[in-house]
Every structure is written in structure tokens, then in C-alpha cells.
Amino acid sequence: MKPARFSVCLASLFLSSAVCVVAQVDIKAVGDDHVSISIGGKPFSDFYIGSEYQKPYLAPLRTASGLVVTRKWPMEQVESDSHDHPHHKGLWIGYGDVSGVNFWEVEAASVPSGTNPKVKGKVALAQLGEVTSGKKSGSVTATFVWRAPDKGDMLEEKRTMTFYDEQDVRTIDVDVTFTAKQDVKFADTKEGFFAIRLADAQTEKNGGIMTNSEGAQTEKNVWGKRADWVDYDGTLEGHKVGIVIFDNPHNFNHPPRWHSRAYGLFAVNPFGVKDFDPHSTEGGGHALSTGDSMRFRYRVVIHPGDVPKKKIADWYSDYAKKAK
């Protein structure tokens, strides 16, 4: 009887191991608060969607080796982190002026900058959709509403984020469709849109460097300029790391302008003009009539910092070729 029991246990062990191997990208909803993402058995990030948050955000982001490339504050009370811009949380989507409502500086402690409206909106979860794990990739889909205290639901946002199991890099594909619930306009402002707040040690002010698809480097030459992609390299705990954002060639106003700062804000802005180039004759902003939709897609790749820019350009070329 003992050998039989041993065989059953051994078979169960093998079966359990097989299940673990299959789910290399493991994505799970944790109550109503967040969705956890693990890759290769190691935590990668969490997608915070609970009602207590003013907007959904993905944090922290990690390299394949586990280094955290996003600022930990204000989610964690880390004294060594910079404490500016409390609305900069991990990876998020927001905009400073949508028909007179601020969906960028939405946290209570945030002070609207420049001419951004003081009326703050909220990006609230309407429905958590499919949460799928897999051997090579996994994804999470959710629907949000961009809601104003005096105007109700202004936009519906349907977002799908796909995560991949790869050896040396971490890749996220973000696919977002906005549908206007009423007539709205994304005004002309620099404060937006698809954004990441980087770890302080990785930023330009601490020795890091940003490079765009045109070969320009540093905030002075990258900020406000049009580019297919921007890569931001730096050093974390003695290791060179980088993070690049690709703009899909089918996105509105491609190639976009970049709101990328030496202190660590890393953002794509498809709507802003006047703050980036006051002498431009180009019209900024974009209006949507009730029922109109617009789609945005981005790819984020967290990679070793010594990856040649030619290879990043090749990655983008491959990404663009597969875009539909």
C-alpha cells in the first residue's frame, strides 16, 4: 500500500508542477481593490482599481530581475523618495483639462498647475472584465468612467493590458478605447496623458538619460518634441536599466509630443501643443461628440540599460509592422 500511496502523491506533485509551469503569467483579482500580476513566479505589478482611488494605476513596475523602476511614494511612505506631484502613481492615464475638468491632478493633495481647472474628476471602475493567465502572456480588461462632480459621466474608458513572459525584459501592451458619454473636448495642455513616474535613481537629474527615436537626448531636446518612442535609461542599485514607451502608429496625432522630465515624469501627450511650442500654428486639443470613440495603444518595455538604441528601433519597427 505504501508504494501505491507514494505513486499517487508523486503524480499529484507532477500535476501541480505542470499547472505552475502553464501559468507563467499569473493574473488574479484580489477582492475589489486590485489585480495582481506575477511573471515566472515572481511579482511584477498590481493594478489598483478600488473605489478609494481617484484613478486606476499600475504599480510598482519591475525589471525581469525584480528591481523596481517606478517611484514608490506616495503609495509607500519612503523618506528617501521625492515627495512632489502626489498624482504621479506608477503607470496611469489622465489628462489635465477635459471640458473644464481636471483628470490629471485628481488626488486630494494635488494642486492644479498652471491654468488647469480646479474642478477635479474621478476615473471610477464600472466593471472588471476578463482576467486571464497564460503560459506566455496574460491580460486584464476593465471599464472605467471619467466622472465629474458637476457634469456626471463624461467618458467611458475600456482598457486591456497584456503582460508577457520573456527572459530579460518585461513588456506591457496597453489598449484603450474612449467613448464620449456627452460632448467633450481634450483641451490644449501639457498635463497628460499616458504616463509613468520613474524611480528617482533612474532619472536624468540623477545621471539617467532620455533618448527619442530621432536620436535627440536630454529633456532639453526631447521634451515637447514629436517622436515614435522615447527610451529612459538610468542606474538602479548598481544595475543599468531602461524603460521605453512605443506610440502605436495608428494613434491619434502620431507621432506624439512627449512630456518627459528630468525629475522622472515620463509621458506621451497626443493633444498638447501651446505649452510645448508657443509659436506653433498647429491647433491643439481634440473634441469628441456624444457617442464618438477614439483608440490609443502603447507598448512599454522594461529592459537592461545597455540595450543599443538600434535594437530598440528594431523592436519598434517590428511593433509598428504588426499594428492594425
Q: Is residue 20 situated within a structural domain?
A: no
Q: Is residue 19 situated within a structural domain?
A: no
Check residue 13 and give its pLDDT.
41
The answer to whether 211 touches 230, Cβ cutoff 8 Å, is yes
The answer to whether 177 touches 295, Cβ cutoff 8 Å, is yes
Could you tell me the sign of the dihedral formed by the alpha carbons of 272, 274, 278, 280, in that order? positive
Check residue 113 and give its pLDDT.
82
Convert the pLDDT of each residue in 129-185 to its tens digit. Answer: 999 999 999 999 999 999 999 999 999 999 999 999 999 999 999 999 999 999 999
pLDDT confidence band for 324 (50 / 70 / 90): confident
Q: Is residue 202 situated within a structural domain?
A: yes
Phi, psi of 40 (to 5 degrees): 60, 30
Check residue 323 and give its pLDDT.
87
Phi, psi of 19 (to 5 degrees): -60, -40
Q: Is residue 7 situated within a structural domain?
A: no
- For the chain, the domain total comes to 1
CA atoms of 305 and 73, how far apart (whole Å): 23
Which range among 77-91, 109-123, 242-256, 296-310 shows the weakest confidence by mean pLDDT? 109-123
Check residue 70 and give its pLDDT.
98
Q: Is residue 98 situated within a structural domain?
A: yes
Q: Which domain holds residue 237?
A: 25-322
List alpha helices for the chain, DSSP H.
2-22, 219-222, 309-322
Task: Give the global pTM.
Answer: 0.92
CA atoms of 62 and 280, how far apart (whole Å): 38
Three cell numbers at 238? Answer: 548598481
Convert the pLDDT of each residue in 2-40 to its tens digit. Answer: 444 433 334 444 444 444 445 699 999 999 999 999 999
Check residue 23 and give its pLDDT.
62
Q: Is residue 14 situated within a structural domain?
A: no
**ω into residue 255 within 30 of 0, thus cis?**
yes
Characterize 90-111 residue by residue with b for buried, 16 or more Cβ atoms within 10 angstroms of its Cβ, and e for exposed.
Answer: bbbbbbbbbbbbbbbbbeeebe
Check residue 118 and give its pLDDT.
94
CATH code for the domain of 213:
2.70.98
CA-nearest of 169, 63, 175, 90 to 129 is 175
Amino acid symbol at 127 = Q
Q: Is residue 38 situated within a structural domain?
A: yes
Check residue 268 and give its pLDDT.
98
Check residue 2 and give its pLDDT.
41
Check residue 11 and give its pLDDT.
42
Convert the pLDDT of each residue in 223-240 to its tens digit. Answer: 999 999 999 999 999 999
Q: Is residue 295 situated within a structural domain?
A: yes
Convert the pLDDT of each residue in 187-237 to its tens digit. Answer: 999 999 999 999 999 999 999 999 999 999 999 999 999 999 999 999 999
Check residue 5 and give its pLDDT.
41
**pLDDT over 80 at 110, yes or no:** yes
